[in-house]
């Protein structure tokens, strides 16, 4: 009868220890092995340990924020006034997309389908090479 009670306590410690470790943001695999080896002792040890900070949530919060240049507090990326020191903050410069000039962009050979569509097009100035005969043409419509 005593063996059944010890086995039941070890089983519940083996199941409960990694669950509690996960809730406290600790290593589930490490505490699973500790529960396998030490049973109830590992269960009570993980119960007494403090909860670690959730680093994934902290990283996500920091990705959406920046430091105030005056008080060094974290503020949202799009903020124009710091909520802690109430000073104006310069907005973050956004990068405009670069417009590609078709005359200076690197050229690639056209496919046959593109060449046929090009033959049917109207109103364009085109400088291209035929994929079949490598003839270079400039067409103005």
Beta bridge partners of 127: 138
Q: Report d(CA 103, CA 43) in Å as an integer.
A: 70
* pLDDT value of position 108: 66
Question: Which of 3-7, 50-54, 69-73, 96-100 bottoms out in mean pLDDT, i.e. has the lowest?
Answer: 96-100
CA 38 to each of CA 1, 27, 46, 47, 119: distance values in angstroms, whole numbers, following the listed order:
21, 16, 12, 14, 79
Residues 24-43: pLDDT tens digits?
Answer: 988 899 999 999 899 889 99
Residues 68-122: pLDDT tens digits?
Answer: 888 988 888 888 899 899 999 987 766 555 555 666 665 666 677 776 776 666 5
Mean pLDDT of 48-57: 83
pTM for this model (two decimals): 0.42
Name the token pair of 111: 């496919």
Confidence of residue 134 (pLDDT cuts 50, 70, 90): low
- The answer to whether 111 and 117 have CB atoms below 8 angstroms apart is no
């Amino acid at each position: 009868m005593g063996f059944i009670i010890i086995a039941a306590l070890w089983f519940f410690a083996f199941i409960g220890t990694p669950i509690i470790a996960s809730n406290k943001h600790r290593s589930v695999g490490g505490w699973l092995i500790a529960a396998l080896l030490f049973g109830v002792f590992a269960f009570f040890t993980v119960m007494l340990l403090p909860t670690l900070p959730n680093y994934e949530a902290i990283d996500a919060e920091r990705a959406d924020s920046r430091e105030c240049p005056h008080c060094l507090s974290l503020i949202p990326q799009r903020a124009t006034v710091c909520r802690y020191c109430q000073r104006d903050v310069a907005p973050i410069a956004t990068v405009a997309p670069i417009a590609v000039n078709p005359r200076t962009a690197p050229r690639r050979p056209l496919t046959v389908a593109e060449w046929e569509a090009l033959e049917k097009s109207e109103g364009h100035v085109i400088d291209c090479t035929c994929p079949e005969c490598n003839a270079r043409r400039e067409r103005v419509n």
